[in-house]
Amino acid sequence: MPKVTFSRAGITFECPPDSTVLEAAQAAGVQGLPYSCQGGTCRTCAAKGSGEMETEEMLALTPSELREGWRLPCVAFPRGDCQFEL
Ligand code: FES
């Protein structure tokens, strides 16, 4: 199962294949994450991230933001270990 690390918080948790990073973080007890729509449109949850993850639903991000590493944890499905600047 992919592992997700929030580097600033110093937390690592497992993310099931059918869970978003946000859902898995909440299930792991991570508190205080910013989010609103949970649908990839409001950008509230945006954070820099790296690692293999699906990005098709990150419609609120421009191609250049995606290239710069911005990701939306509310619609991010890890396909390998990932790290976020959270
Ligand atoms: S919570 Fe709205 S884009 Fe993630």
* All domains in the chain, ordered by first residue: 3-84 (3.10.20.30)
Query: Rounded distance, CA 73 to CA 47, Å?
Result: 8
pTM of the model: 0.95
Q: Cα of 77 to ligand 1 centre, how many Å?
A: 14
Q: Within 10 A of 42 (CB to CB), how many other CB atoms are there?
A: 15
- Number of C-beta neighbours around residue 33 at 10 A: 18
Report yes or no: 34 and 42 within 8 Å, Cβ to Cβ: no
Kindly give the distance from the C-alpha atom of residue 30 to the centroid of ligand 1, in angstroms, as a whole number: 16
Query: What are the tens digits of pLDDT across the range 6-62?
Result: 999 999 999 998 999 999 999 999 999 999 999 999 999 999 999 999 988 999 999
State whether the beta carbon of 26 lies less than 6 angstroms from ligand 1.
Answer: no
The span from the CA of 86 to the CA of 64, in Å, is: 20
